[in-house]
Amino acid sequence: MLPAGTRVYIAGCGGMLGRAVYAEFGRDCEVKATDIDLNIHWLEHADVRDLAGYEASVTAFNPELLINLSALTDLEYCERNAENSWLTNALGAENSATIARRLNIPLVQISTAGIVDGAQDVYNDFEQPNPLGIYAKSKYYGEVVVQRLCAKHFVFRAGWMMGGGPEKDKKFVNKIFKQIAAGAKELKVVGDKLGTPTYTKAFARGIRIVAGTDLYGVYNQVCEGDCSRYDVAVEFVRLLGLEGRVKVTEVDSDYFKQEYFAPRPASEKLVNTKLHARGFRHMPHWRDALAEYAEEFKAALPRR
């Protein structure tokens, strides 16, 4: 476990994962959190695409650990805005690795299950990725360049991220919730995309646990168990107490092919092979994590 009082710089801390990472490390570490979107009072400005400005911000704080959360994660945005996606996801990782190497400090880089091609059912930490779209390709480059430039690196691959609640969650769970809150009686959800949900609070806790060691490398870090998007939606509706009132209808990916046109693997299921082998079993089952997370939505649920 990373000790209390450690000086930690967190780049790209304004998103749903950033909220959880800041809460985890901010309890008893000295933290400087930055982003280009200053959406909360504890953020300062820094842009990972700008090496000189980013390095000046990091160096002024003199951290003992650098965490790079900066990423563009909307797959359709990345396909439409390839240059910015490469600059943020790839060059941002390269700049982070360059700075960490110069300061001789460990770097935490966040990657994604989306770098696989879905040709097989389940992927461990050691199997070769084959990214399909701009988002996946730019994130995979980030993995590779961090390993090449910075000896002291931790690369954590997340699955389907959930966290941040109704205000910050930009992913699947909140998209489902917004439909429910708007009065939807039926949800159309794909059943042919498979993966492993990843709860931001557990993920942030895992970063702190592993980054407190010298066991550098690449780690799958997802919740235990796997499922389809349909499975998540059914369970979420049940946890909200809406079973029988909101119908979840399973469809295939072609139903949303115009809205979600970016290439996605049929399966991006990860297993935490390396974490388990090294005695780390801190990630909960996805159903338990979703049960905890659903509590954040119950207060925002409209009266029916």
In a domain, 98, yes or no: yes
In a domain, 67, yes or no: yes
State residue 299's pLDDT score: 83
Range of the domain at 130: 7-169+197-225+270-284
Block means of pLDDT (10 residues each) for the chain, 304 residues, are 94 96 97 96 97 98 98 96 98 98 98 97 96 98 98 98 91 94 94 96 98 97 97 97 94 92 95 98 98 92 71
CATH number of residue 135's parent domain? 3.40.50.720
- Residue 301: Cβ-neighbour burial (10 angstroms; 0-12, 13-18, 19+): middle
In a domain, 105, yes or no: yes
Give the separation between CA 281 and CA 278, rounded to whole angstroms.
Answer: 9
State residue 242's pLDDT score: 94
Beta strands in 69-152 (DSSP E): 107-112, 122-123
In a domain, 255, yes or no: no
Coil/strand/helix, residue 107: strand
State residue 112's pLDDT score: 98
Taking a C-beta distance cutoff of 8 angstroms, is the pair 240, 180 a contact? yes
In a domain, 174, yes or no: no
State residue 284's pLDDT score: 98
| Domain count across the chain | 1
In a domain, 231, yes or no: no
In a domain, 244, yes or no: no
In a domain, 81, yes or no: yes
